[in-house]
Each structure stands twice: as structure tokens, then as C-alpha cells.
């Protein structure tokens, strides 16, 4: 009996990574697996709900830096014009029932994610934005979203500013007038900060109202300081198989995320966890598995 218990525990350890993968893969039907292993058999026959994948991997043409070509908030999503229709369709399929997905250019370019910054309250555009683009965005976004073009020499606003619906982190050299506009239009508290020594805070972090991902070299002290400012949990990590430029590789809001297609399963798991995108935590499933194991072999 002791050997059987030991073997069962070993089986549990062996299958756990597979079970976790199956959970986050959002399989909607029973697993097409047959095995005499008691743990796997329990999993196949159990009635637990399977986790949905709340982060989607995609690319823009041949680029995995999807954050350069899109901007996602809780009230709207901007997507660069041109490129593969699959890119736009991926956003539309996930978001169109909830928020508008708008194709646009900014300053005649497609790098909309790097040139603008916004949240549910507003959208700030660089001075290079044309009148036609400005009017198109005002017509396409919800009425409660303020759209404003600002004069700022650091015109890549998406690289210089990171924000959620409550707090904004900005480049240390941003104009004082720009800081005031950010606070007014976006309705946020503004803090001049660096992330792991980098002044381009908009490039090296991404955060929602529920959590955030920052440059992998961010110290524990800086993590604590930033987390205190933002009032959300933060994790140091990467996207796109080790890229430190977080915001170029992903966009996120309070219920979903989109990442570059090179993002690994491990990176995806971290993203889904820190941004609280999962419908249930994996720990709940592991606990249920453990209880079943004990009941079966005690």
C-alpha cells in the first residue's frame, strides 16, 4: 500500500504540468486521452470548469511587437490601419461586443500604440496628428472619452507615459504643461518615474487597474515603490521570448490581453496571473486534485 501511495504521488507530480497546461488551454470538451493512471483518469472524468485563455497571441504582419500597432483601454481599442486583416479580426472577435475597435493612423503612421496614450476617460495624441485623424477618432470613440491633441516635443507619448484609469507614470523630462493635461484629460494622478533606470516608462511597463508587468531588471525596492504608487501588484517579467520592452510586446485592459506571437507559455501564464485574467486560479484546481488524491489512497 505504501508503494502504491508513493507511485500515486509520483504520478501526480508527473501529470501536474500537463494538467495545468490543459487547464489554461481552455479546452471546451473532455480530454481525448485514455490512461489507467488514476490521476489522469480523475482529471478526464471530473466536472471542474476549465480555465479560459484570457490572453491572445498574435502578430502584426511579421512583427511580434503588437503593442506598437495597437492601444487597448477599458473603453476602446485602437488598431493600426493596413496589415493583415487577421490582426484586426483578433481584436474585434474578443472586444467588439464590449468596446469599439477603431482602425486608425496617427501622424500618417501605423505605430499608433507608441504615439498615443489613453484610458477610459480620455485619449492624448501628439501634435503630428492630422485634423482628419483627430476628427475620425472623436467620431469613433464613446462620447465620454475626451480626445485631445497636445504640443509636446517628446511626441512618442506611448513611449513616455504609462497609465491605467487612476495613475500615470511619465518620462522625467515631460513638460509641466503636458503633465497638467494628462491629469486633466485622463483623470489620473501623475508621477515622474523611471523603470529599472529607464526613462521611457511607457515602453518598459504595462499595467491595468488590477496588476502590472515591468522590466525584468527592476529591483525589489523599485517594484515596491511602483506598486505603492499604482496601488496594484507588480511582477518583473518579459514578453516575446525574453523581450524587455514590455509595452511593445503586449496590450492589456482589465479583462483581456494581447501578446506577440513569440510570447512563451510561461510568459503567458505570468501575464494571465498578474493581470488577474483567469476566471479561476490554478491553485484551486491543484487543491481539488490533491483532495481527490488523498481520498483515493488513504
Over residues 132-150, the pLDDT tens digits come to 999 999 999 999 999 999 9
Q: Which of 79-93, 107-121, 189-203 has the lowest mean pLDDT?
A: 79-93
pLDDT in tens, 215-240: 999 999 999 999 999 999 999 999 99
pLDDT at 279: 56
Q: Secondary structure of the chain in the HEC alphabet?
A: CHHHHHHHHHHHHHHHHHHHHHHHCCCCCCCCCCCCCHHHHHHHHCCCCCCCCCEEEECECCECCHHHCEEECCCCEEEECCCCHHHHHHHHHHHCCCCCEEEECECCECCHHHHCEECCCEEEECCCCCHHHHHHHHHHCCCCCEEEECCCCCCCHHHHEEECCCEEEECCCCCHHHHHHHHHHHCCEEEECCECCECCCCCCEEECCCCEEECCCCCHHHHHHHHHHHCCCEEECCECCCECCHHHHEEECCCCEEEECCCCHHHHHHHHHHCCCCCCCHHHHHHHHHHHHHHHHC
pLDDT in tens, 11-61: 444 444 434 434 433 333 334 444 444 443 433 343 333 334 479 999 999
pLDDT in tens, 250-275: 999 999 999 999 999 999 999 999 99
Indicate the class that CATH gives domain 55-274.
Answer: alpha beta
Question: Could you tell me the residue ranges of all domains in the chain?
Answer: 2-51+281-297, 55-274
Amino acid at each position: 500500500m505504501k508503494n502504491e501511495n508513493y507511485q500515486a504521488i509520483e504520478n501526480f507530480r508527473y501529470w501536474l504540468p500537463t494538467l495545468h497546461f490543459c487547464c489554461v488551454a481552455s479546452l471546451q470538451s473532455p480530454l481525448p486521452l485514455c490512461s489507467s493512471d488514476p490521476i489522469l483518469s480523475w482529471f478526464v472524468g471530473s466536472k471542474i470548469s476549465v480555465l479560459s485563455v484570457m490572453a491572445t497571441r498574435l502578430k502584426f504582419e511579421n512583427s511580434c511587437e503588437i503593442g506598437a500597432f495597437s492601444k487597448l483601454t477599458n473603453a476602446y481599442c485602437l488598431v493600426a490601419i493596413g496589415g493583415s486583416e487577421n490582426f484586426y479580426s483578433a481584436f474585434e472577435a474578443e472586444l467588439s461586443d464590449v468596446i469599439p475597435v477603431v482602425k486608425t493612423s496617427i501622424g500618417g503612421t501605423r505605430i499608433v500604440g507608441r504615439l498615443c496614450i489613453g484610458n477610459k476617460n480620455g485619449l492624448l495624441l501628439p501634435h503630428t496628428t492630422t485634423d482628419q485623424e483627430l476628427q475620425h477618432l472623436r467620431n469613433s470613440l464613446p462620447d465620454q472619452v475626451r480626445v485631445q491633441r497636445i504640443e509636446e516635443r517628446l511626441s512618442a507619448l506611448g513611449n513616455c507615459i504609462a497609465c491605467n484609469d487612476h495613475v500615470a507614470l511619465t518620462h522625467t523630462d515631460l513638460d509641466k504643461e503636458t503633465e497638467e493635461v494628462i491629469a486633466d484629460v485622463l483623470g489620473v494622478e501623475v508621477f515622474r518615474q523611471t523603470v529599472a533606470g529607464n526613462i521611457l516608462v511607457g515602453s518598459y511597463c504595462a499595467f491595468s487597474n488590477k496588476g502590472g508587468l515591468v522590466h525584468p531588471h527592476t529591483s525589489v525596492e523599485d517594484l515596491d515603490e511602483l506598486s505603492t504608487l499604482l496601488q496594484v501588484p507588480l511582477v518583473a517579467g518579459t514578453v516575446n521570448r525574453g523581450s524587455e520592452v514590455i509595452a511593445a510586446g503586449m496590450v492589456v485592459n482589465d479583462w483581456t490581453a494581447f501578446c506577440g506571437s513569440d510570447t512563451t507559455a510561461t510568459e503567458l501564464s505570468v501575464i494571465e496571473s498578474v493581470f488577474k485574467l483567469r476566471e479561476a486560479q490554478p491553485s484551486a484546481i491543484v487543491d481539488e486534485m490533491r483532495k481527490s488524491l488523498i481520498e483515493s489512497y488513504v
